[in-house]
Amino acid sequence: MAWSFRKHTPDSFEKEIRKYFRETPEEKWTLPGLCIFCDITTRTFQRYANTEEYADLCQRVKDILNNKRELMLERGEGYGNGIIFLLKVNGYQDTQQIELKQDLNVTGSMNLEDYLKEAGEILA
């Protein structure tokens, strides 16, 4: 008989998850904490997440935990730099937007020969 990593049925796993979120203070919610509460490893959780019958439930857990992190970040609460680290671990990336603007005001007129002559004198 092959070894099975399934300690819980989908229904019993959902009941344990609901119990964890009900009994654990929100600021202490973590995926490893949930796994310990459910008496499984994070590796087993990931295996559950990769099976059809558990996938939606595991994704819902991840969504709840990610939402909590985002809300803490918006409110400026939580772990300081640690929350930024957790967001990066979960796929968020630092981005920087650089906007370059250049205004070119041309006054007067100059023909091409005079322009090239002047440009040559500047570069010489």
| pLDDT tens string 11-27 | 999 999 999 999 999 88
Neighbours of 13 (CB within 10 A): 21
Which among 80, 89, 86, 94 is positioned nearest to 29, based on CA atoms? 86
Gap between the terminal Cα atoms of the chain: 86
pTM score of the predicted model: 0.60
Cβ-based neighbours of 17, under 8 Å, separated by 6 or more: 34, 38, 57, 61
Domain boundaries, the chain: 10-89
Per-residue model confidence as pLDDT tens digits over 54-66: 999 999 999 999 8
